[in-house]
Chains A and B, each alone.
Chain A
Amino acid sequence: MDTILEMRGISKSFPGVKALDNVTFEVARGQIHALVGENGAGKSTLMKILSGVYPHGTYEGEIVFDGVPLALGGIADSERSGIIIIHQELALVPLLSIAENIYLGNEITRRGVIDWPETFQRTEALLRKVGLNESPAALVDSLGVGKQQLVEIAKALSKHVKLLILDEPTAALQENDSQKLLDLLLELKAQGITSILISHKLNEISRVADTITVLRDGTTVSTLDCRREKVSEARVIRDMVGRDMAHRYPERTPRIGNTLLEVSDWNVWHPLHSERQVIRDANLTVSAGEVVGIAGLMGSGRTEFAMSLFGRSYGRDISGTVRLNGREIDVSSVRKAVDNGLAYVTEDRKALGLVLEEDVMRNITLANLAGVSARGVIDDTAERNAAEEYRRTMGIRTPSVFQKVMNLSGGNQQKVVLSKWLFAGPQVLILDEPTRGIDVGAKFEIYGIINRLADQGRGVILISSEMPELLGMCDRIYVMAEGALVGQLPAAEASQEKIMSMIVRG
């Protein structure tokens, strides 16, 4: 086997934590090598060492790339060797054009002056290679996340990449964009480019990966060869979490009560383009103790629907009625929606859900300060007790409730957001992609929490891009396409194929 990369005995410590402990990682030339593991397993740390973010000397062990020992001083060094990493948070400048972004810091110049015709020509060639049909002059800002991802790859290709590292490239992509990206990876492989794919989505990995390496708690657990025999998802999950996961979705016997929430004739228009209707005549009901799913592609209007319901946080010219327990309620501001028993857990917890600079306690009480204060003065003891209560019942793993939430892992951050909303005492919770970007173990805990909420007689609306999650969790699934709820299916009858065909037929 021709090995392009060999990382031997890699160890790296941070104050108080050993992030990597004697990790060995080998990648064969021309393969797609998947790197999986729970959050905190050390995947990103390993890749940061490989890409020079943590320079030579800050870790132990050695790296051999293309037969040469590497001693990287920084990202520039690794890029010169042909190792290029594409981070989850894309590193593009939104207000520059595609061409400018691709050659940023690497401009094609003639005596110090940028050669624009040449730049555009080469950009066009690169865009054709990655299958992106856009003008090189288009602003990155005007592209969707999926296309931006392709621009990043084009940028990597412009640097004569030998080893491409993709950190959760499909986390923010919808189904068909994800597929396109994976196809592109296969195509690059055919052209001899080796890639390392970090992902939580096991179905994608089993589709494209030749080899899977599983990391757990900073050590290499296993390296599985997918070409020799089919590797089951259960096997990978077992290696990731270190235990058998008999069921990916915890069991629940639904006890469904009376209709709790009733949304009728909901119409929403785009906040900027007033002629565009985003949500069309949506009707939806949720009963007590019921978990209702909303399936649909990204851009179908699921998030917009949820946010417009929640205090008109999205859109304009909103019309329609919302009833709770048969009585019409006012949801015209977030405050009123919360007071009337709604809660919305956002899909973007870092940007919209948490105050990262503040501690766990202050984030938990933020939506219900009235619950821990009297006449506008906060009762420190009551606040602390409330936070401790949620730390215990939700299983938030943190040294104390005074830890800043930015120091928590994604799964624990999500539990803080859920705690915040539970403390506000809602009757209906809208959960928008509650398990995005969190690891398998934490996902299972979140599912348990969702089931508990339903068992308490609350209504839950679950929005998710992962269809197995909807099928595993929901009692009933609505299908959304192009801003309309085009149909609904009881869980017993639903399948991925049926949902997809409803989306496609509209």
Chain B
Amino acid sequence: MSEVVKSSAPTARPSVGQYLAGHLRDYGMLLALVVIMAFFQLVTDGTLMRPVNITNLILQNSYIIIMALGMLLVIVSGHIDLSVGSVVGFVGAVAAVMLVQYQLPTFVVIPICLVIGMLIGAAQGYWIAYWRIPSFIVTLAGMLVFRGLSLWVLQGQSVGPFPKSFQLLSTGFVPDLFGVGRPNVTAVVLGVAAAGAMLFMAMRSRARHQKYGMDNEPFGFFVARNGIIAVAIVYFAWLLATYRGLPNVLITMAVLTLIYAFLTRSTTIGRRIYALGGNEKAAKLSGINTERLTFLAFVNMGMLAALAGMIFAARLNTATPKAGVAFELDVIAAVFIGGASMSGGVGKIMGAVVGAFIMGVMNNGMSILGIGIDYQQVIKGLVLLAAVIFDVYNKNKQS
């Protein structure tokens, strides 16, 4: 009965060391990403950070990251979606058939496929939200159903190639508006602008925190952290500029990430999803329509899975019955590596994106090193386990 109120009142001016120790959980995964990248940069003799490889890294992981955004919402709301890999395959197949066999134009196919994705999400979300069938079971069924349907749609064949306009979804690059071409000045300008915007936002938020006397990080740490991130953004933009510029899919990904980060942090819908995952009954008794919210989380997931399916198909320039196999595992792993909780209510968009990049860099780095797929799986599995143990360990230490 007698709980002890912890006195977490911050000391007047925490040192960088103290602050870092207290917020290890927040920065841990970002730090881990940096360390992993540095490690592979070393052991691959600089291949990892070569412009062409960075471009590849983004193209290879874009669909995982896009789905991780939706999966984060699903997991925060206390559910799981195992069907996304099959939905990727199915939507890719449907898009291919429409484009290649029916010769429909790209601008028609893309919206139709997004709607198909939403319908798939709605069909699964309906049972989960309104009938309270466990999401694990509903989406496990979905995983089988849509894998089967993609085989059926493609008649077991690969379908392709696609018109140029569809391929641009994945393999296109933002053209250089300044006409230089190499290096791509637009990419550099956008990179600098993004870094500037990031710094501006960080400074504004810090000023606001200070105004209300909230727990702020030490100034030196603030400068160092944001400085490093800004330099990193500009540096990566430069790397990409020296190759072919910014991939279209990077823009899509970045915009979606910003939208979902805003949605989870600053909107009432986002807030309600966290409350739903944290305590569904309390949320319901606070007047929140928990069923509809759960339903919408799955509709959203379906839409993002459809987008990912089209991007993946566009990248391979063909739809195959095997497309998207086991993607759900990478997506779910990314979200958990990023700090989300299995029981719901906890997790951040940026965490999920960092988690996806950790998986992506490891895949890429190990492939460059020529490590066999067998060892790759073992290592990835252990990293997932280690990340979650680290998380739980930190949580226990705090309480």
Contacts and interface: CB of A to CB of B under 8 A. Distances in A.
Tier of interface size on chain B: 20 to 34
A370 B272 CA distance: 12
B286 A420 contact: yes
B7 A198 contact: no
B279 A369 contact: no
B266 interface: yes
Given A362-B275, A370-B268, A376-B269, A407 B286 contact: no
A355 B279 contact: yes
Nearest to B6: A407
Nearest to A215: B2
Provide the main secondary structure of the chain B interface.
loop
B283 A40 contact: no
Contact of A378 (B5, B271, B282, B345): B271
A41 B5 CA distance: 12
A384 B212 contact: yes
Nearest to B346: A357
Interface stretch (A13-21, A222-230, A286-294): A13-21
B1 interface: yes
B1 A44 contact: yes
Given A311-B287, A380-B208, A17 B275 contact: no
Contacts of B212: 381, 384
A376 B345 contact: no
Contacts of B3: 39-40, 407-410
A85 B220 CA distance: 51
B217 interface: no
Interface in B328-351: 345-346
Interface stretch (A118-126, A396-404, A450-458): A396-404
A19 B4 contact: yes
B355 to A, nearest CB: 20
Given A168-B1, A356-B278, A357-B346, A369 B284 contact: no
Max chain A Cβ within 10 angstroms of own Cβ: one of B3, B214, B281: B3
A240 to B, nearest CB: 12
Contacts of A15: 6
B271 A398 contact: no
B289 A335 contact: yes
B282 A352 contact: yes
A377 B271 CA distance: 10
A418 interface: no
Interface in A390-437: 397-400, 402-403, 407-410, 412, 420, 424, 437
B268 A17 contact: no
A357 B4 contact: no
Nearest to B272: A369
B101 interface: no
A358 B5 CA distance: 15
A362 B266 CA distance: 12
Interface string A323-343: 000000000011101110000
Interface string A365-380: 0110110010011101
Given A399-B7, A402-B215, A367 B281 contact: no
A408 B7 CA distance: 11
Contacts of A11: none
Contacts of B214: 400, 402
Contact of B5 (A334, A356, A373, A409): A409
Interface string A87-111: 0100000000000000000000000
A381 to B, nearest CB: 8
B396 interface: no
9 contacts: A15-B6, A41-B2, A333-B287, A335-B289, A369-B272, A397-B5, A399-B7, A409-B5, A420-B286
Given A17-B4, A366-B288, A408-B3, 11 more contacts: A198-B1, A313-B284, A335-B288, A357-B345, A362-B271, A369-B268, A376-B268, A400-B9, A400-B214, A400-B215, A402-B214
Interface of A: 14-17, 19, 37-45, 88, 167-168, 198, 310-311, 313, 333-335, 337-339, 344, 346, 351-358, 362, 366-367, 369-370, 373, 376-378, 380-381, 384, 397-400, 402-403, 407-410, 412, 420, 424, 437
6 closest pairs, A vs B, by CB? A355-B278, A367-B286, A16-B7, A369-B268, A335-B287, A334-B287
Interface of B: 1-9, 208, 212, 214-215, 266-269, 271-272, 274-275, 278-279, 281-289, 345-346
